[in-house]
Every structure is written in structure tokens, then in C-alpha cells.
Structure 1
Amino acid sequence: MKALVVFAHPVPESFGAAVRDTVVAALREKGHDVRLVDLYAIGFNPVMSADERRHHFERGVNELPVADQIEHIKWCEMLVFVYPTWWYGLPAILKGWLDRVWVAHVAFILPEAEGENIRPNMQHIRHIVAVTTCGANWWLTKWVGEPGRRTLLRGIRTLCHPLCRTSYMAHYKMDSSTPESRAKYLAKVRARIGRL
């Protein structure tokens, strides 16, 4: 399967980087064709310009500013997001990647008549995986509503194959984690990714 790993952490020596490396290694060990997009490393600009927004629904023109990233999402069959959960949601750079890359006529088809809804256009994507760390504990994260998880596993999923499967892995209480808890999480990630 063609797997696109989208990584969003600014610190190269972070635990997030260890999670990314574990994910990539586990995918490759299972024979998946892997592409890695490290949003900070490539200097991805998450800010949509006024001109970009003006042309957001204009077929072809809306693709030009992020053509390289659009090529990645058209290529993949599996999307794996590796990121830290900040303020219960996605890092700004990852949210900006979604805003700028998942454009009309690529990710979805615009309504043609009043009362219609957008239609999905990413049916080649059959699996979405979110791998994250959360400073808060499980129950507080649930109580807040997990906006990051919902954006990826519900919002993005609606644009994918009707039978698209989702997986979610989180290391809770990251702010008070230990070497043992982090090692246990990496082992869990490796095992679950290996079963995809």
C-alpha cells in the first residue's frame, strides 16, 4: 500500500521524531511504499494568503501554490499523521496543511445545485491513522472532545473511500511521561502499524 506519513513537530530530537521513525520503519518492514512529509523540515507555510483564498475554488489555479503536496495526497492509499496534540487539537502547521492542500476539485467536488453538499473525491485513500502525544490525561482529553482526532478521523475521512478504516493511537500524560511509558508507547505503535 502507498503510505503517506505527514509529520508535524518542530524539534528534530523530540519524542515525536522517535514516533515518526517507528511508524516509518514499521510500515517499510511490512512492505508498504512510504513517503514522508516533514512539514517543519520542508518549511511548509500553513498560512493561506488572501490571493490563495480568492482562488480557493478555482479548478487548477487553487492547486498551484501547493502542487507538490497535492501530488502526495493523490498518490497515497494510506494517510498516517504523526503529531503532538496541542491545546487538544492539531498543531497550526498541520491544520494549515489541511486548509491549503485539501482543496476543491482535488479533495472534494463542489455542489452543483442549491441544497447539494460537497462530494468526496479521495476514494483511493482507504486508511487514515493518527499517532499523537497528549499532555493531558485520557479523561480530560475526552471531556474536551478531541478536536484534532475528530478533524482527521471524521472530517478528512468523509472525503475518502466509503469503507476507509481509521486508527488512533495516543500517548496520554506526555508531560509526566517516563522512559518506560514512552518505550511502551513506541512498542504499541510498532505493533499496531505492523498490523495495518
Structure 2
Amino acid sequence: MKTIVYAHPYEGSLNHALLNEITGKFKENQDDYQVLNLYADSFNPVLSSQDLYNYNQGISTDPLVEKYQAALAKTDELILIFPIWWYGLPAMLKGFLDRVMLPNVSYDSDDNGLLTGKLTNIKRATVLTTAGLSKQHFQQLNAANVESTLINVIFKDLGIGHQSIRWFHYDTIHHDHADSSSYLESIIDKI
């Protein structure tokens, strides 16, 4: 099953256009897919003191967290769609990682704190981002926690196959969406 984790609040955004194009392709191909739309689901990204207490036990009492965990357990291809805000992940997506990726569910840790991922069922991952700055600019600043943290560390710690992770970035987000049609087409061809 393909799972899209979508984290953007505005339906008029390029991110939403990407979501629509990708789900349209999946429908056309009769692919088995699901969308975890964090904003539409009113997901609460805030890690409360009770969440933190439960976290150390590897449990959650939030039905939405449990739904997302069950969805990820059935996933073999993961697609994340989100904007880069302030050089990093939007709070909604960071909160998704904080609240959904629990010990004993998404990873195990040894006595030294080293993690062994349990999401090895996810064989392929694609990260689609948008921002006003280029991918190269983020990389030069060493500020692209998309690559240095999410892809190179978090995905690895969760057991997501590193060889099959791709990152596509659209860097003219402030331009008219008419300019983005060739980008959308090129991405859809690669998904």
C-alpha cells in the first residue's frame, strides 16, 4: 500500500496540487493508497506531558495516532508532501514524528540508545517539498534538515530503506502556479 503523509493547511497551495496530481495518478492506475492529511484530520502535533509519559512506554491514547500507526504498518511506499518553513519541517509534520513514531512501534533501542527501525515494511520513500529557496541553497547552509535529519537519520532509525529514498524540491513557490505545471508533470512521471 502507498501512504501519503500530507502536511499543508491551504488547499490552494502547490502542495495541494501535488497531492491532487498524485492521488489522481494512483486512482487512474488503480493503485492501493491512503492519505494521512494531518490538517484535514485535525491532528494535534503537540506532545503533552501525558503523551510524553506514554511515549516512554511506547503507547498512545490518541485514536488518530493509533490510526496513523496502523496505516504505516501496512505501507510499503511512503510519500511525504510538505513545505519547508524556517529551514525545516512544519510543526505539524514534526509533531507527527514526535507523537506517532513511538518506541516498540516504530523502533527499538538498545542500552546505548542506538535505534533499530521497525518500519522495514516501507521499501521506498519519496519526499516532496516546496519553498522559496533552492535545494542547493538549503544544502549549502547545511540547513536542510529534510536531507541531513529526516532522510539521513530519522528514516534510517525507523528502518526505512535508505537506498530507495528520493527527495524532490520545488523552489519557486512564490511564483504563479502556472509556472509549476511542468514541475508537477515531471514529478508525477517519477512517482
* Distance 1:18-1:154 versus aligned 2 partners, 3 A rule: same
Name stretches of at least 5 consecutive residues in structure 2 with no aligned partner. Answer: none
Looking at structure 2, the residues matched to 164 and 3 of structure 1 have their Cα atoms a distance apart, in angstroms, of 18
Paired amino acid for 2:21: T
Q: Does 1:85 align with 2:84?
A: yes
Q: Report the counterpart of residue 134 of structure 2 in structure 1.
A: 137
* Distance 1:149-1:31 versus aligned 2 partners, 3 A rule: farther
Matches for 1:3-22 after TM superposition, within 5 Å:
3-22=2-21
Contact 2:134 2:169 in 1 (8 A): no
Q: Report the counterpart of residue 107 of structure 2 in structure 1.
A: 108
CA shift for structure 1 position 132:
1.2
Q: Does 1:48 align with 2:81?
A: no
Looking at structure 2, the residues matched to 136 and 190 of structure 1 have their Cα atoms a distance apart, in angstroms, of 22
Paired amino acid for 1:120: G
CA shift for structure 1 position 12:
1.6
CA shift for structure 1 position 27:
3.2
Looking at structure 1, the residues matched to 145 and 70 of structure 2 have their Cα atoms a distance apart, in angstroms, of 27
Looking at structure 1, the residues matched to 153 and 90 of structure 2 have their Cα atoms a distance apart, in angstroms, of 16
Query: Aligned-pair RMSD on alpha carbons?
Result: 1.8
* Distance 1:130-1:137 versus aligned 2 partners, 3 A rule: same
* Distance 1:92-1:54 versus aligned 2 partners, 3 A rule: same
Partner of 1:168, secondary structure, is: strand
Q: Report the counterpart of residue 71 of structure 1 in structure 2.
A: 70
Name stretches of at least 5 consecutive residues in structure 1 with no aligned partner. Answer: none
Paired amino acid for 1:129: T
Paired amino acid for 1:13: G
Stretches of 4+ aligned residues off by more than 6 angstroms: none
Partner of 2:150, secondary structure, is: helix
Paired amino acid for 1:50: S
Percent identity for Structure 1 against Structure 2: 24
Partner of 1:149, secondary structure, is: helix
TM-score by length of 2: 0.89
Q: Tell me whether 132-141 or 154-163 shows the greater mean CA deviation.
A: 154-163
TM-score by length of 1: 0.87
CA deviation vs aligned residue, 1:131-185 (integer Å, no higher than 9, x gap): 111111343222222112333322232122556510111111322x244431111
CA shift for structure 1 position 87:
1.4
Q: Does 1:120 align with 2:117?
A: yes
